[in-house]
Amino acid sequence: MATITASPPRVGLPALLKHRAVHKLLLLALAAAILVPLANARWASGTWPSALTVDFSEPLAKASDWIIDNRDSHPLFLYFFGHVSNVVVIAVRAVYLTLLAVGWAGVTALGALVAWRVAGVKLALGTAAAFLACGLLGMWVPTMQTLALMVVAVLASVAVGVLLGLAAGLSDRADRVLRPVLDTMQVLPAFAYLLPVVLVFGIGVPAAVLATVIYAAPPMARLTSLGLRGADTEVLEAVESLGSTARQRLLTARIPLARKELLLGLNQTIMMALSMAVIAAVIGAGGLGDRVYQALASVDVGAALAAGIPIVLLAVVLDRVTGAAGEKLGAEPEPHSGRGWLIALAGVVAVAVAGRLVGRLDWPDSWVVAIAEPVNRAVDWMTAHLYSGVPVIGGTADWAGHFTTWVLDPMRDSLQALPWWGVLLIVAALAWVIGTWRTALTAVLAMAAIGVLGVWKPSLDTLSQVLAAVAVTLVVGFAVGIAAARSDRLERALRPVLDVFQTMPQFVYLIPVVALFGVGRAPAVAAAIVYALPAVVRITTQGLRQVDPAALEASGSLGATSWQQLRQVQLPLARPALLLAVNQGLVLVLAVVVIGGLVGGGALGYDVVFGLAQGDLATGLVAGAAIVCLGLMLDRVTQPTERRAKKGA
């Protein structure tokens, strides 16, 4: 219950809890009174003292030189990385050639029939429509390249994730060791580890698959472990009493019982892998991502959108189909399901063979709808009319300017003007009041690590942007979420919009964002909001809807107005969900800091991009590490310790 002290004291809170918060703060003040003068006397400086930094550029530059010089001769590369790389290339090639051989009609039929078997007729039609749309947009071959890459990357991620999850689910020690590792894998911006991966594997598909696995394996591992740990103890005892061995128990009871979590893990892994498709293009993975990236170079939003839509369609289809499969798991198995699969298989073979005989394996060029031009015209029109000179409310350029001068600048300047120990104190106080002394210690250490890495100033710059973006995201997200929770129609209408926002590659909307807000930190914040908003809206809506209807009815019968109900019943009861929304907002905003670097966000995001572009391991990795530390600190400062157990889900 200590968690409730997080909020400003409210009437009705037990006095004891308030006391504990005050005690903590008093203790902290005492510690500060002793330590601050000491620190100030030794290292009197506003920003992080240079005496307390460690320069990593030398060893990192040496490491990268060593890799380049030994890549062609050292046994580690010849007998290990080389083979890993070969296997990846062979696997992707095999899938790709198969997809080409089956032809567009065959692939569409295969997708539709699999969807029909696991998820029903409606999704089967949707799947077929999605595949045909990819062809109509002129993106058939790139879509198949991305699909081949995804199949291999997802299989590898699932294999790695299940192995890690088994270890974490079966042994507490492994769980403790793995948890921070998984956290890091997810928070570390992909750009930061693209560079080391590229150094080892070279640009291209192997590096892209490896980078995707790093990013997409954690949810699989988390959910596997969660599923194993959550297995019903009674069932397990019953199985044990039958005299089965540990391995039998695992295979016959624990894993089958964890089916639902495993499937949810698969779903999450697929989504995360797809979101890497574009980032992987930066290191030459080809496919749809490469088309988006190349369109960006010639400032062609329409072409980028034409390549972005298939990514969205793939994501939505895969999400719905795996989701539906998960829901069906609990139900009774249908009779004759074997026969259904046989019919499906026969259908695919028939279509594929027919396609082959007709000689229509490649998507016909004449069946392409060019959307690039109208889209570009629409974007031009929009930016021309909104950028400036809109009567009364001003153009978007003015908003961006005011936002930069009135919000971002003061925040950055005041953060950077604080003495370094002051920042640490604030972090400690926030984290301790909301959690335990352990969380406070972690938060302070994470912040201190940023100083030690020597990127104190840019990190505070990034922090100010993140805080501003999260604040706007929460205000808008809560408002929309509340509205959606109260109207079914609005929620249904929002669903596809949120899907698109969540899965559309960020590169697609970079240009419109710059065209509207100019170059600088404001468009970076805008891009972050677009990316983080859907999750916040979803979690808020869901949280509010899950509030016990009995409580609502009770307050309604007491004559509360709908506004009173919202404020005094729904919001307080949905508190855990709202806190989760805050946390997810932070994580997602932080995840696009690097994208912000591409539109003038500067600070850490720019450094990460710079590191990749210049092959500068030191700049890129240090900035990436600082982003991880910021994430860790923000997580500890905003989340009461209690919620932690749910994180995997």
Partner 1 sequence: MRIRTTAAIAAVSSLALLTGCGAADMTKQASPFANAQGAKTVTLSVQSWVGAQSNVAVAQYILEHELGYRVDTVQVDEVPAWDALSQGRVDALLEDWGHPEQEQRYVKDKKTIAPGGDLGVTGHIGWYVPTYFAKKHPDVTNWKNLNKYADQFRTPESGSKGQLMDGSPSYVTNDKALVKNLKLDYKVVFAGSEAAQITQMRQFAKEKKPFLTYWYTPQWLFKKVPMTEVKLPPYKEGCDADPEKVACAYPHTPLQKYLNADFAKSGGKAAAFLKKFKWTTEDQNEVSLMIADQKMTPEDAAKKWVDSHKSTWKKWLS
Of residues 550-579, which lie at the interface with partner 1 (CB under 8 A)?
Answer: none
If one asks whether residue 510 binds partner 1 (CB under 8 A), the answer comes out as yes
> Residue 319 and residue 202: Cα distance in Å, rounded?
32
58, 72, 234, 332: which one contacts partner 1 (CB under 8 A)?
A: 72
110, 397, 579, 582: which one contacts partner 1 (CB under 8 A)?
A: 397
If one asks whether residue 606 binds partner 1 (CB under 8 A), the answer comes out as yes
139, 223, 372, 425: which one contacts partner 1 (CB under 8 A)?
A: 372
Q: For the packed helices 603-614 and 190-201, what is the interaxial angle rounded to 10 degrees?
A: 10
Residue 28 vs residues 9, 37, 40, 287: alpha-carbon distances, Å? 19, 14, 17, 54
Burial 49-85 (b: 16+ CB within 10 A, else e): beebeeebeeebeebbeebeeebeeeeebeeebbeeb
* Residues of this chain, 401-430, that bind partner 1 according to CB under 8 A: 401-402, 404-405, 409
Which one of 22-30, 45-53, 69-77, 625-633 is the stretch in contact with partner 1 (CB under 8 A)?
69-77
Query: Which residue, 515 or 634, is less far from partner 1 as judged by CB?
Result: 515
Q: 370 and 138 in contact (C-beta within 8 Å)? A: yes
Shortest spacing between CB 404 and partner 1, in angstroms: 4
115, 136, 154, 400: which one contacts partner 1 (CB under 8 A)?
A: 400
Shortest spacing between CB 72 and partner 1, in angstroms: 6
Query: Which residue, 201 or 456, is less far from partner 1 as judged by CB?
Result: 201
Query: Which residue, 174 or 476, is less far from partner 1 as judged by CB?
Result: 174
Query: Which residue, 138 or 648, is less far from partner 1 as judged by CB?
Result: 138
> Residue 389 and residue 381: Cα distance in Å, rounded?
14
Which one of 72-80, 124-132, 252-260, 341-349 is the stretch in contact with partner 1 (CB under 8 A)?
72-80
If one asks whether residue 548 binds partner 1 (CB under 8 A), the answer comes out as no
> Residue 639 and residue 44: Cα distance in Å, rounded?
33
Q: For the packed helices 140-170 and 259-275, what is the interaxial angle rounded to 10 degrees?
A: 140
Query: Which residue, 316 or 468, is less far from partner 1 as judged by CB?
Result: 468
- How many residues touch partner 1 under the rule CB under 8 A: the total is 85
> Residue 357 and residue 349: Cα distance in Å, rounded?
12
Shortest spacing between CB 199 and partner 1, in angstroms: 8
Which one of 70-78, 309-317, 418-426, 585-593 is the stretch in contact with partner 1 (CB under 8 A)?
70-78
If one asks whether residue 387 binds partner 1 (CB under 8 A), the answer comes out as yes
For residue 267, give both structure tokens: 């779903």
* Residues of this chain, 3-62, that bind partner 1 according to CB under 8 A: none
Shortest spacing between CB 154 and partner 1, in angstroms: 16
For residue 464, give both structure tokens: 């100010």
Q: 620 and 455 in contact (C-beta within 8 Å)? A: no
If one asks whether residue 294 binds partner 1 (CB under 8 A), the answer comes out as yes
> Residue 266 and residue 326: Cα distance in Å, rounded?
10
**Number of residues in the chain:** 649
49, 204, 230, 340: which one contacts partner 1 (CB under 8 A)?
A: 204
Q: How far is CA 405 from the centre of its chain?
A: 30
DSSP 364-399: PGGG----HHHHHHHHHHHHHHHSS--TTT--HHHH
Q: Per-residue string for binding with partner 1, 262-281, x by CB under 8 A?
A: -------------------x
Shortest spacing between CB 82 and partner 1, in angstroms: 3
Q: Per-residue string for binding with partner 1, 119-148, x by CB under 8 A?
A: --------------------------x--x
Query: Which residue, 315 or 508, is less far from partner 1 as judged by CB?
Result: 508
Burial 547-586 (b: 16+ CB within 10 A, else e): beeeebeebeeeebeeeebbeebbbebbeebbbbbbbbbb
601, 624, 631, 648: which one contacts partner 1 (CB under 8 A)?
A: 601
Shortest spacing between CB 619 and partner 1, in angstroms: 9
If one asks whether residue 293 binds partner 1 (CB under 8 A), the answer comes out as yes
Query: Which residue, 44 or 393, is less far from partner 1 as judged by CB?
Result: 393
If one asks whether residue 258 binds partner 1 (CB under 8 A), the answer comes out as no
323, 610, 642, 643: which one contacts partner 1 (CB under 8 A)?
A: 610
60, 190, 266, 290: which one contacts partner 1 (CB under 8 A)?
A: 290
567 contact partners, CB below 8 Å, separation of at least 6: none
Q: For the packed helices 437-452 and 456-486, what is the interaxial angle rounded to 10 degrees?
A: 130
Shortest spacing between CB 101 and partner 1, in angstroms: 10
If one asks whether residue 68 binds partner 1 (CB under 8 A), the answer comes out as yes
> What does the H/E/C string look like for 216-284?
HHHHHHHHHHHHHHHCCHHHHHHHHHCCCCHHHHHHHHHHHHCHHHHHHHHHHHHHHHHHCHHHHHCCC
Q: What angle do CA 10, 15, 18 make, to 5 degrees?
A: 70
> Residue 309 and residue 599: Cα distance in Å, rounded?
22
For residue 378, give both structure tokens: 């629409």
Which one of 245-253, 285-293, 450-458, 622-630 is the stretch in contact with partner 1 (CB under 8 A)?
285-293
Shortest spacing between CB 177 and partner 1, in angstroms: 14
If one asks whether residue 83 binds partner 1 (CB under 8 A), the answer comes out as yes
Which one of 42-50, 172-180, 204-212, 264-272 is the stretch in contact with partner 1 (CB under 8 A)?
204-212
* Residues of this chain, 84-123, that bind partner 1 according to CB under 8 A: 84-87, 89-90, 92-93, 96-97, 100
* Residues of this chain, 458-497, that bind partner 1 according to CB under 8 A: none
Q: Per-residue string for binding with partner 1, 155-194, x by CB under 8 A?
A: ----------------------------------------
First to last CA, the chain: 22
* Residues of this chain, 297-356, that bind partner 1 according to CB under 8 A: 297-300, 302-303
> Residue 619 and residue 87: Cα distance in Å, rounded?
31
Query: Which residue, 167 or 452, is less far from partner 1 as judged by CB?
Result: 167
Sign of CA dihedral 639, 645, 648, 649: negative
> Residue 447 and residue 422: Cα distance in Å, rounded?
12
Query: Which residue, 118 or 382, is less far from partner 1 as judged by CB?
Result: 382
- The DSSP secondary-structure symbol of 52 reads G
615, 644, 645, 649: which one contacts partner 1 (CB under 8 A)?
A: 615
Query: Which residue, 50 or 86, is less far from partner 1 as judged by CB?
Result: 86
Burial 241-270 (b: 16+ CB within 10 A, else e): eeeeeeeebbeebbbebbeebbbbbbbbbb
